[in-house]
Structure 1
Amino acid sequence: MIIETISEVATQLAAAGNIKAEGVGNVCAQAPTGVKPYVNDILGWVKYGVIAIIIGAGFASSGALIVGKFGQMGRAAQIGASGLFWTVIGAIAFVCIYAILNGIVGNGC
């Protein structure tokens, strides 16, 4: 009922020419002047730091899995398998988050 009333009022105002709906143009996100090199350096370090952590966690988890299986240590194998699972989930999350942020910020105009 309220939605119908709002719709009716908006239709009457638009018919009278009092409402002008204009979209916002394609605005590009850009770093402030002089900050771009520092932002690129920080983002580069963070990006490659996270990649190094993911690779290190993958190797450590694989090693725990192998040692646990061959050494008859069930708990170590379980921790290695769990760690490998979470490493893959972390890598997927990293790629998704990076793609979303790149989609928002873009490459400039």
Structure 2
Amino acid sequence: MIVHAISEVAITLVANAGTSIKAEGVANVCAQAPTGVAPYVAQILGWVKYGVIAIIIGAGFASSGALIVGKFGQMGRAAQLGASGLFWTVIGAIAFVCIYAILNGIVGNGC
């Protein structure tokens, strides 16, 4: 199979020896949802996006609360968990923004 493909290319090259051969790349292809699915995809992505935002906000408030209660209530472990939770909440928010930007760059906003 490969030998056949190579021989076809070689025959084409020999036949077109006087002409220049140009390789053309694939045009910029836009990712599009199938017909009729776009409203449902937009709705699902919207729910997921705002769900993740709600989780990040909730985790931030819970971590802040644990930090405050732990510091004022002399509960070192709760304060430690609150500080750790705030750190991971910020990391999660950064990851959300980066992943969303990457996916938006791949899919785009239409052509």
Q: Same fold (TM over 0.5)?
A: yes
Count of residues paired in the alignment? 96
Shift of 1:20: 3.1
Give the 4+ runs in structure 1 shifted more than 2 A: 16-20
Name which of structure 1's ranges 44-53 and 16-25 shifts more when overlaid on structure 2.
Answer: 16-25
Q: Which runs of 5+ in 2 are unaligned?
A: 1-12
Hey, what's the Cα distance between the residues in 2 that align with 1:76 and 1:104?
Answer: 41
Shift of 1:24: 1.0
TM-score (ref. length: structure 1): 0.83
TM-score (ref. length: structure 2): 0.82
Give identity over the alignment, percent: 93
Say whether 1:95 aligns with 2:97: yes
Report the counterpart of residue 43 of structure 2 in structure 1. 41
Q: Which runs of 5+ in 1 are unaligned?
A: 1-12
Query: Which has more radius of gyration?
Result: 2
Match of 2:22 among 13, 20, 23: 20
Shift of 1:23: 1.2
C-alpha RMSD over aligned residues: 1.7
> What one-letter code is carried by the residue in structure 1 that aligns with 2:22?
K
